[in-house]
Amino acid sequence: MKKKAVFLLLLALFSLAFGFRVGSTPLSWGDIWDIFAHKWFQQPTTLSNAEVIILWDIRVPRVFLSFLVGGSLAISGAIAQSVLQNPLASPFTLGVSSGASLGAALVIFMGLQLPFFPQYTQITMGFLFGIGTIFFVLGLSFQMDKGMSNTSVVLTGMVISLFFNGILSTLMVFFSQESSKMVQWSMGSFAMRGWSHVEMIFPVMVLGLLLSLALARELDLFSFGSAQAQSMGVATVPVKVGAFILMAWMTGACIAVSGIIGFVDLIAPHVARKWVGNRHIALLPASFLIGGTLMTATDTVARTILAPSELPVGAVTALLGAPFFFYTYRGQQKKE
């Protein structure tokens, strides 16, 4: 177990270091050390100001941001899979992403603006709509089924998802001039972010990880099924609702800083389960590390493979994610 933890940590550190190292501007390990020394210990540096900014203000925050977003999405995915006992469940299948898209679309199409922080209108609305959708889905499934069985929650989530997508497609016909902005938003990106975004998501992520670890025992019991969990003393409905809110909050924050990036929330928990098993006290941190590593690696690929041009990271995760999904699915079939 310890070996695995060390391995995952090393992998994560490697992805971070690799992310610092590569980019359209060539910087050597020596240059990187030089700039870190310059920033931390006020050492003089021979590198140009542009190179210092490129590493310290662009690459480093971007690499951290992608790691934090990937990790948070992975934890959200692990929670969704465990609570719903469904390997395909994720915050996105529960409607968070389509809700957030709808919120962002309303901002783009209607030209809405927040009074004091107009530049944050889109991310705030994405965040609120993402979380709002989860409440909407939970409320509806509670109406249909007071026990909130997994099937009714998943089904409601998918129906609401499709419903919101329908509204979105209709809006895009009416506002065809703006629809390209919408398409870009829905592809997700870490470009043009800086330290301020890292500062926004860091507390969300730390708190989310701690709260989810506090729920680890309940999540373990959920893996046996709701009825079993209830018989073992878990107040299923309140715990479910609490877990969903935690998940929606983390996902909403991720969407707010990066747009919609799929697959990591689905894949990372699956890889983590294969590695460390189903006990959440190990599964959640492992999911975080794997999700973060995956996201940082894919974002590094997205911004370097065609440098100086960039690919949308959402497209790259999907390109890498889809084959992985079929691989795990086939693996499961073979076992049966």
Partner 1 sequence: MKQSKNKVVLWLLCLSLLAACGGDSGTAQSSVGTESSNTEVESSSPEADAPEDGGEGSTLLAFEAGSVVQDPSGNEFIVPESMDRIISTAPSNTEILVALGLGDKIMVVDTYSQGIDGLSADVMAVEFRSPDVESLIMAECDILFASEHNMEGGEDPYAQLTESGIEVVYIPTSETLADIYADILFFGQLTGQVTQAEGVVADMKATVQTVTETLAGVETKDVYFEISPAPYLYTFGTDTFLHEMLELAGGNNVFASETGWFAPSEEAILMADPEIIITNAGYMDDALGEIISRENWTSLQSVVNEDVYLVDENLLARPSQNVVLGLEELARAIHPDLF
> What residue ranges bind partner 1 (CB under 8 A)?
23-25, 49-51, 53-54, 57-59, 113, 118-119, 176-177, 181, 184, 189, 191-196, 303, 306-312
48 secondary structure, DSSP code:
-
Q: Are 96 and 266 in contact (CB under 8 A)?
A: no
Q: Least Å distance between CB 320 and partner 1?
A: 19
| Cβ burial 224-249 (10 Å sphere, 16+ → b, else e) | eebeebbeeebebeebbbbbbebbbb
The smaller minimum CB distance to partner 1, of residues 152 and 189, is found at 189
Q: Least Å distance between CB 303 and partner 1?
A: 5
Q: Least Å distance between CB 97 and partner 1?
A: 18
The smaller minimum CB distance to partner 1, of residues 123 and 286, is found at 123
d(CA 246, CA 266) in angstroms, rounded, equals 17
Quick one: which of 256, 245, 201, 260 has its CA closest to 72? Answer: 201
Q: Least Å distance between CB 193 and partner 1?
A: 7
Torsion over CA: 114, 116, 119, 123 (sign): negative
**Dihedral angle of Cα 122, 92, 247, 108, to the nearest 10 degrees:** 10
Q: Least Å distance between CB 27 and partner 1?
A: 10
The smaller minimum CB distance to partner 1, of residues 53 and 144, is found at 53
d(CA 282, CA 275) in angstroms, rounded, equals 10
The smaller minimum CB distance to partner 1, of residues 42 and 49, is found at 49
Q: Least Å distance between CB 59 and partner 1?
A: 7
Q: Least Å distance between CB 173 and partner 1?
A: 8
d(CA 325, CA 270) in angstroms, rounded, equals 9
The smaller minimum CB distance to partner 1, of residues 109 and 244, is found at 109
Q: Least Å distance between CB 287 and partner 1?
A: 27
Q: Are 112 and 125 in contact (CB under 8 A)?
A: yes
Non-local (6+) Cβ contacts of 319 within 8 A are: none
The smaller minimum CB distance to partner 1, of residues 127 and 244, is found at 127
Q: Least Å distance between CB 176 and partner 1?
A: 7
The smaller minimum CB distance to partner 1, of residues 25 and 85, is found at 25
Side-chain half-sphere CA neighbours of 32 within 13 A: 16
d(CA 75, CA 266) in angstroms, rounded, equals 10
Tokens of 211: 């709260």
At 146, give phi and psi (nearest 5°): -60, -25
CA 8 from chain centre, in angstroms, equals: 19
d(CA 199, CA 58) in angstroms, rounded, equals 14
The smaller minimum CB distance to partner 1, of residues 233 and 308, is found at 308
The smaller minimum CB distance to partner 1, of residues 144 and 306, is found at 306
